[in-house]
Amino acid sequence: MASAISPREQNTQPNAGVCAECGTPLSGSFCSQCGEHALDRHALTLAHFLQHNLLHELSHVDGKIFSTFRYLLFRPGFLTVEYFAGRRRRYINPVRLLLTCLLILALLPSPGNMIMSIGKVRLNLLPPGPPSANNIKDTIDKLDVLGILGGLMAREAQHKDLQAKSSVEKFNHELKTYVTVLSFSIVVLMAIFLALLYHRRRPLFVEHLVFSLHLASFVVLFSSVPGPLFIGLVKLSHGRALNAIGGALAFTLIATQVIYLYKAMLRFYWTDAKAKAHWWSLPRWSTSLSILAIFIANSGFITITYATGAAIALWRV
């Protein structure tokens, strides 16, 4: 039976009068149907590639990155406001922005898990890397806040050698992998939580999702600072007072995140400047209470993420 052949498969060589992408007749340098640029002899030269493709794309992308990062870091909530005002082309898409920030974080040195903990509450907007130890039991003891992982480990130990070095290495690898994947769900969970808090002010779920993506991007990008900074401070102090340096740095990061979230929420969820003019106004008090609720909810998100990742890792060993 004969099958339909696409224009791309029909023409291995470009036809000057037909779009190579969709087969639409060309009346200029660009296709009126799909926007594809028609190739010509000049477009295939090295000089054209370097000048019009490589340099143009790099300058265009870099310009977007730098302007987006500038607003992301120094104008909390501004990118989300711009997004829903319809001004999107000048900034990086929220999903791509988060992925770019994650790539930057992965490329920079990390000082380890820097968490401000009060009891079992982890004060962080996104979960750091999961803890690991030389044996599975110690890791499970750190993560078993809900009291269910111990029983699961005991059942898995009946038919698996969880003491073996290969099992420990595989467990740590699987734990890191699944916690990283599950961490993305925190962005969605945060959006759901914000939607419940502010559904009257912002009725569309996508509004809260974009705000959550921008918030996560800031936290990830801002989290790339501690690694080089911590290493520099340790070198300046010749390795002394590591705990004090780490604690002070972690406190500074948390305080900065709280202030950032406060300003971002005021800008995005409370558009009336007069209503939030004074510190005793409803928007400011409401935002402060919301931030407290968000950090408590985030602690639960992180706990569930770690527990789920550990359960999957135990099953996969």
* pLDDT digit string, tens, across residues 249-266: 667 777 888 889 989 998
Q: Where are the domains of the chain?
A: 14-39, 94-316
- In this model, does residue 117 exceed pLDDT 60? no
- In this model, does residue 47 exceed pLDDT 60? yes
Distance, CA of 32 to CA of 256 (rounded, Å): 49
For residues 259 and 241, the answer to whether their CB atoms sit within 8 Å is no
- In this model, does residue 138 exceed pLDDT 80? yes
Of residues 268 and 117, more confidence is placed in 268
Secondary structure class of 24 (helix, strand, coil): coil
Alpha helix segments (H runs only) across the chain: 7-10, 46-48, 55-74, 78-84, 94-107, 136-143, 149-157, 165-197, 205-222, 226-236, 242-269, 282-316
Q: How confident is the model at residue 302 (pLDDT cuts 50, 70, 90)?
A: confident
Q: Quick one: average pLDDT of 172-198? A: 83
Q: How confident is the model at residue 271 (pLDDT cuts 50, 70, 90)?
A: confident
For residues 113 and 131, the answer to whether their CB atoms sit within 8 Å is yes
Phi-psi domain of 72 (left: phi exceeds 0; alpha: psi -120 through 50; beta: other): alpha
Q: Quick one: average pLDDT of 140-155? A: 82
In sequence order, the β-bridge partners of residue 37 are 30
- What pLDDT, in 10s, does the model give residues 193-245? 899 989 988 999 999 999 999 998 998 888 776 555 555 555 555 555 555 66
Rounded to two decimals, the pTM is: 0.67
Of residues 82 and 127, more confidence is placed in 82
- In this model, does residue 91 exceed pLDDT 60? yes
Of residues 35 and 243, more confidence is placed in 35
Q: Quick one: average pLDDT of 179-189? A: 78
Percent of the chain at pLDDT exceeding 70: 65
